[in-house]
Amino acid sequence: MAPYKAVTLTHIRYQKGDPLGHFLAWISLIPVFISFGGFVSHFIFRRELQGMFFAIGLIISQLINEVIKDFFQQARPATCALLEMCDSHGWPSSHSQYMFFFAVYFTLLTYRGIALSDTRNKLAVIFLPWCLALLTMYSRVYLGYHTVAQVFAGSGLGIVLGGLWFWVVNSLLICFFPAIEESAFGRYFYVKDTSHIPNVLKFEYDNARKARSEMAAKSEERILRDSKGNMGSRIGFVYEHSSASRTVLVEGDAAYSELGLVPVVDLALFLSPGPEGDEGRVSS
């Protein structure tokens, strides 16, 4: 019987009773969270071309990593054998390459795409991915999956590929973005590009508030229009054949209650002779 093999994508081991190792094991899973949680969610809810090409660049980077590993075939450290997870080559580290590619591209995209006006805000936004990249690099050495040289090689390659791919996308490929937006694929999936907008966050915030105000105004206009059209059908006349007076009852319109308005006159009494022979209640 052939030996069992684990799915190394999520199977990360650490020494039992080591809280730091436990924490770093979760840190090592960040590339998985970014790929399946971040980019899949981004495509479902955002459909941004910059995000799509960001993901494509990460895929290309990982393919390059596999080619280099197969070419050099450098073994992982001896400690990795104890983990029973060393069925692939170690140089360069794919986790480190992934995270530093992500940090570089995200940093450049933040300055160019989101374009936060305050430099302190920009630094706050890009601080997290660089911290995660450094922690991921450290976790691969601490957990015994890579040597120091392997993680530095991966991080260096990720920085170079991340900057290069950002230049390719935003200098060579961006001219094709309008054509992609207008293509059958773009129209079907509502693909868009907002990289030409100076401040995307403010733009979306202002337009969301404007759209909500316009919808509220149209709703009020519709309610007023409907209330005016139905006003005539909501007036009832009561004739009292036994007296010489005629009573007119004005019923409150339902639409007025929706608008929070209160009728000024509920009952109007006009002292004028009623028609002879009228009996009962007649409603218009």
The pLDDT tens digits for 110-163 are: 877 555 556 666 676 778 889 999 999 999 888 888 889 999 999 999 999 999
CB count within 10 Å of CB 82 equals 12
User: In which residue ranges of the chain is pLDDT below 70?
Assistant: 1-11, 80-87, 113-122, 124, 229-284
Q: What is the pLDDT of residue 60?
A: 94
Q: What is the pLDDT of residue 241?
A: 42
Using the CB atoms, write b or e for 61-74: b if 16+ within 10 Å. bbeebeebbeeeee
First to last CA, the chain: 90
CB count within 10 Å of CB 89 equals 19
For residue 144, is it left (φ>0), alpha (ψ between -120 and 50) or beta?
left
Q: What is the pLDDT of residue 155?
A: 94
Q: What is the pLDDT of residue 173?
A: 92
Q: What is the pLDDT of residue 10?
A: 60
As a whole number of angstroms, the distance between CA 211 and CA 220 comes to 14
Q: What is the pLDDT of residue 238?
A: 43
Q: What is the pLDDT of residue 259?
A: 43
Q: What is the pLDDT of residue 85?
A: 62
Residue with tokens 């409603």: 283
As a whole number of angstroms, the distance between CA 71 and CA 65 comes to 10
Say whether 87 sits in a helix, a strand or coil: coil
